[in-house]
Amino acid sequence: MPSFHLPPHRIVLLLIGLVIIGLMAINMRWDWIPAYRADILAGLRLTLVLLVTTSVAGFLLAVPLGLAQAAGPRPLAWLARGYCTLIRGTPLLLQLWLLYYGLGSLFPYLPGLRDSWLWPYLSEPWLYAFLALTLSFAGYEGEIMRGAFARVPKGELEAARSLGMHPLTTLRRIWLPRAVRRVLPTLNGELIIQLKATPLVATIAAVDMYAVFGRIRQETYIVYEPLLLMALLYLVLAGLITLAFHAVESRRSH
């Protein structure tokens, strides 16, 4: 039965955090929470949906991007490498604005599009938030997958080839599983970075958790308490992600 133990320094930090939270709960103003509880939960839910969906979709795109760079034909490898370089070399906020204010502003001028079934989706900011975060995650993770594919021992692949295993079967049963195991520790940090990137969607009027707390500050004129509660929620989410990955790694080691 695998066991999970926190290092002593993290236990100390956890205790200090609990003391700070206790002092905040006693000495600061929190009477506004019941009035905005439903909005906070809705924003939290949408943040989680955005985090999970973009991370999964981005990773699914990252696999062929990494594979193309590691073993694909040279033109395909160049395209994949160029995409990853472009995504990693430009700010995510710029990518988000190019999709929403650039690409999104062209759709209303396309004949017949406003009357089609696509218009309700194309006019929603969440579509562009999903695309921007997915493409960004794929660009970063695609470079990581390239290294993971390249580090799989060639002897294992040659052994599968000598046994007459089909290339797709080799990829599915040997190459991809070994590569995913190698990137698993880095996925923890990538998911936390993705979580911290989700507040950017508030700049295109998508109402996530960050946008909800911004509205609370504007309506109540309370500055610090909403920010502190929002920071606490992000810390809790990041901590849960870390604990989940530690549990997975602990199971693997046993």
Is residue 9, in this structure, part of any structural domain at all? Answer: no
Give the Å distances, CA to CA, from 114 to 15, 122, 123, 130, 139. 56, 9, 9, 21, 32
Is residue 213, in this structure, part of any structural domain at all? Answer: yes
| Domain of residue 207, CATH code | 1.10.3720.10
pLDDT reading at 91 higher than 90: yes
Is residue 214, in this structure, part of any structural domain at all? Answer: yes
pLDDT, tens digit, 9 for 90 and up, residues 196-243:
999 999 999 888 999 999 999 999 998 888 998 998 899 899 989 988
Least confident window among 65-69, 177-181, 189-193: 177-181
Please report the beta strands in 168-227, taking only residues with DSSP state E, as ranges in sequence order. none
Is residue 19, in this structure, part of any structural domain at all? Answer: no
Exposure class string for 87-104: b at 16+ Cβ within 10 A, else e: beeeebeebbbebbeeeb
Task: Look up the pTM and report it.
Answer: 0.85
Distance CA 93, CA 136 (A): 10
Is residue 110, in this structure, part of any structural domain at all? Answer: yes
Is residue 3, in this structure, part of any structural domain at all? Answer: no
pLDDT of 1 reads: 46
Here the tokens at position 233 are 């929620």
Residue 198: CB atoms within 10 Å: 23
Tell me which amino acid residue 140 is.
Y
Tally the domains of the chain.
1
Q: State the chain's mean pLDDT as an integer.
A: 87
Q: How confident is the model at residue 18 (pLDDT cuts 50, 70, 90)?
A: confident
Is residue 234, in this structure, part of any structural domain at all? Answer: yes
pLDDT of 3 reads: 53
Is residue 15, in this structure, part of any structural domain at all? Answer: no
Instruction: State which residues form the domain around 233.
Output: 34-253
